[in-house]
């Protein structure tokens, strides 16, 4: 039986940074100025549409949940999982999402980090072990509700955990939108190169990275790094939202735009996906056009108009890709590694999923496998020189990577370091 009661609120306490992230920046009205009224429930089945509820998972993670009044079991709904910033709690972010009128018809879950005050409305933090706890909650909701797509996002500390979640449990998520965070070294996508089945699931996830260029808390370079490591692994559904004037404020982030992009990548609304694809076509974003069109063709709900437009878009991108393959082969054969490696990432984003590029892409990844060990060894050498302040030796090792292992993940790092 649901127990409707007022739970005590608490202001965030002093910083206790268990992860390399700082206090999330949201408005003062979300910092416990009033005592929220929520349902406290013992089971998901007790959730009442339109009512915010607090529950605890079997493994002990507290979370806030909101099922929309519009939920219909026949049609289903998106499931949005959002992870709070450090020394915050899920309810503060749920309130912000609701006040911004985002996710109005979605099932919303906002877990509390398992470390910190332990108070539902207090200062809480995630740890390196949070992703499996979040996964348990997600699985329970997917089993109980008719979930059409599952997206996970997070702000600041929550963004770090978002990357962890999609790497460790990719089968649960269709899309992700981490905001103002970075990908831990322990979660960088190249670590799964020896596990192709896991890596294939990871690459099915659409990833919208969001980071403000004016962020004074988590440096913008960390967002660039997060986007870069997935770019270097050839993720086909990848986008970087980098508003020039955005600081660390969650409420001002382009969440709605990111969700629309994720929907296009997953075929949620075929007509809207093709509308966006027309804009991307004019902008030369062939990769997004291609992925949106593929999703529409595969969607059971695609109407004839959207389906026909999608097939035409695929044909148009394939034509562009054939031209791109010729140019890329010429570049790889005649230009220096520094020149063609930079061009490769753009080529793979635009054409990597097309049939026209299949042979060239397969050859690239075959060469990457052959060069991987050599690239990793040279990269460790370069890092050793960097730690000891031997700049000339470091630079020489990085250039050696580009010459001897240009197809590797480490070549992307080498190129960035040499630029810096």
Asked if residues 325 and 351 have their Cβ atoms less than 8 Å apart, the reply is: yes
Is 173 inside a domain boundary?
A: yes
193 domain residue, yes or no = yes
Identify each DSSP E strand in 213-371 by its residue range.
Answer: 238-241
Query: How is 342-356 classified by DSSP, letter by letter?
Result: HHHHHHHHHHTTSST
28 inside domain:
yes
Give per-residue pLDDT as tens, 197-253: 999 999 999 999 999 999 999 999 999 999 999 999 999 999 999 999 999 999 999
Residue 165: helix, strand or coil by DSSP? helix
Q: What is the DSSP letter of 212?
A: -
Q: How far apart are CA 404 and CA 367, in angstroms?
A: 11
139 touches 105 (CB < 8 A): no
Using CA atoms, how far residue 380 sits from 367, 374, 399, 413, in Å, is: 20, 10, 13, 12
User: Which run of H or E residues covers position 46?
Assistant: none
Phi, psi of 4 (to 5 degrees): -85, 115
Does residue 379 contact residue 411 with C-beta atoms inside 8 Å? no
pLDDT for 12 equals: 27
Confidence check: pLDDT of 83 > 50: yes
Task: Report the distance separating Cα 277 and Cα 295, nearest Å.
Answer: 12
pLDDT band at 318 (very low <50, low <70, confident <90, very high): very high
Strands 107-111 and 53-56, by their bridges, are unpaired
Q: How many domains does the chain have?
A: 1
Percent of the chain with pLDDT over 90: 85
Decide if pLDDT at 354 tops 80.
yes
pLDDT band at 341 (very low <50, low <70, confident <90, very high): very high
pLDDT of residue 123: 96
Dihedral, 152, 155, 161, 167 alpha carbons, nearest 10: 50
Residue that is written with structure tokens 């039986």 in the block: 1
Per-residue pLDDT tens digits for 249-291? 999 999 999 999 999 999 999 999 999 999 999 999 999 999 9
- Characterize the bridge pairing of strands 3-6 and 37-40: antiparallel
What mean pLDDT is predicted for residues 142-159?
A: 98
| CATH number of domain containing 161 | 3.40.50.1820
Please, which pLDDT band fits residue 57 given cuts at 50, 70 and 90?
Answer: very high
Specify the pLDDT at position 31: 41
Asked, for residue 395, whether it belongs to a domain, the answer is no
User: Residue with structure tokens 């909650």?
Assistant: 137
Residue 323 lies inside a defined structural domain of this protein: no
- Per the prediction, the chain carries an average pLDDT of 90
Q: Which domain holds residue 166?
A: 3-266
When pLDDT is cut at 50, 70 and 90, the band that residue 180 belongs to is very high
Q: How large is the average pLDDT for residues 125-143?
A: 97
pLDDT score for 302: 56
- Crossing angle for the helix pair 220-232 and 337-351, nearest 10 degrees? 80
Residue 22 above 90 pLDDT?
no
pLDDT over 90 at 109, yes or no: yes
- Confidence label for 23 from pLDDT (cuts 50, 70 and 90): very low
Asked if residue 45 lies in contact with residue 30, where contact means CB atoms within 8 angstroms, the answer is no
Pairing of strands 62-66, 175-179: unpaired
pLDDT at 21: 38
| R_g of the chain, CA atoms, integer Å | 22
Say if residue 20's pLDDT is above 60: no
pLDDT of 34 reads: 54
* Per-residue model confidence (pLDDT) at position 419: 86
The three-state secondary structure class of 166 is: helix
Could you count the other beta carbons within 10 Å of the beta carbon of residue 20?
13
**Angstrom distance (rounded) from CA 345 to CA 319:** 19
In a domain, 390, yes or no: no
- Interior CA angle at 325 toward 320 and 326, to 5°? 105
Q: Are 206 and 262 in contact (CB under 8 A)?
A: yes
Burial pattern 307-333, b for ≥16 Cβ within 10 A else e, equals bebbeebbeebbebbeebbeebeebbe
Task: Name the CA dihedral angle for 64, 176, 227, 21, rounded to a multiple of 10 degrees.
Answer: 10
Q: How confident is the model at residue 299 (pLDDT cuts 50, 70, 90)?
A: confident
Report the pLDDT value the prediction gives residue 37, as an integer from 0 to 100: 82
Q: Is residue 399 part of a domain?
A: no
Mean pLDDT, residues 53-80 taken together: 97
Query: Is 377 inside a domain boundary?
Result: no
Output the CA angle 303-354-203, nearest 5 degrees: 85
* Among the listed residues 307, 349, 297, 305, the one whose alpha carbon sits nearest the alpha carbon of residue 328: 349
The residue-averaged pLDDT of 33-44 equals 80
On the question of pLDDT at 25 being above 70, the answer is no
What is residue 305's predicted lDDT score, i.e. its pLDDT?
Answer: 83
On the question of pLDDT at 4 being above 90, the answer is: no
The pTM of the whole model exceeds 0.85: yes
Task: Single out the residue of 55, 49, 111 nearest to residue 80, CA to CA.
Answer: 111
CB 175 within 8 A of CB 151: yes
């Amino acid at each position: 039986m649901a127990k409707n009661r007022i739970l005590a609120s608490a202001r965030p306490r002093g910083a206790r940074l268990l992860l390399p992230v700082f206090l999330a920046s949201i408005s003062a009205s979300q910092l416990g100025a009033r005592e929220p009224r929520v349902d406290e429930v013992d089971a998901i089945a007790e959730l009442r549409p339109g009512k915010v509820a607090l529950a605890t998972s079997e493994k002990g993670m507290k979370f806030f949940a909101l099922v929309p009044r519009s939920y219909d079991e026949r049609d289903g709904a998106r499931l949005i999982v959002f992870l709070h910033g450090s020394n915050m709690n899920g309810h503060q972010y749920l309130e912000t999402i609701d006040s911004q009128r985002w996710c109005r018809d979605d099932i919303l879950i906002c877990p509390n980090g398992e470390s910190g005050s332990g108070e539902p409305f207090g200062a809480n933090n995630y740890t390196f072990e949070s992703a499996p706890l979040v996964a348990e909650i997600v699985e329970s909701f997917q089993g109980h509700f008719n979930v059409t797509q599952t997206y996970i996002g997070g702000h600041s500390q929550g963004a770090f955990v978002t990357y962890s979640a999609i790497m460790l449990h990719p089968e649960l998520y269709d899309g992700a939108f981490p905001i103002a965070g970075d990908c831990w070294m322990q979660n960088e996508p190249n670590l799964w190169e020896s596990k192709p089945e896991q890596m294939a699931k990871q690459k099915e996830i659409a990833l919208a990275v969001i980071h403000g260029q004016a962020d004074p808390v988590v440096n913008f370079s960390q967002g660039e790094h997060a986007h870069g490591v997935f770019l270097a692994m050839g993720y086909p559904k990848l986008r970087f939202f980098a508003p020039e004037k955005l600081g660390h404020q969650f409420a001002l982030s382009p969440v709605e735009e990111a969700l629309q992009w994720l929907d296009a990548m997953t075929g949620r609304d075929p007509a809207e996906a093709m509308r966006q694809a027309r804009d991307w076509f004019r902008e030369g974003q062939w990769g997004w056009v291609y992925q949106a069109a593929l999703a529409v063709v595969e969607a059971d709900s695609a109407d004839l108009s959207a389906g026909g437009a999608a097939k035409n878009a695929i044909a148009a991108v394939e034509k562009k890709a054939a031209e791109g393959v010729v140019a890329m082969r010429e570049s790889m054969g005649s230009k220096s590694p520094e020149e063609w490696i930079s061009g490769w990432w753009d080529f793979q984003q635009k054409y990597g999923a097309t049939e026209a590029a299949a042979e060239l892409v397969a050859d690239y990844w075959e060469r990457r496998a052959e060069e991987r060990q050599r690239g990793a060894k040279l990269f460790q050498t370069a890092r050793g020189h960097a730690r000891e302040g031997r700049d000339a030796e470091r630079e020489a090792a990085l250039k050696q990577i580009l010459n001897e292992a240009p197809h590797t993940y480490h070549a992307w790092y080498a190129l960035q370091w040499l630029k810096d």
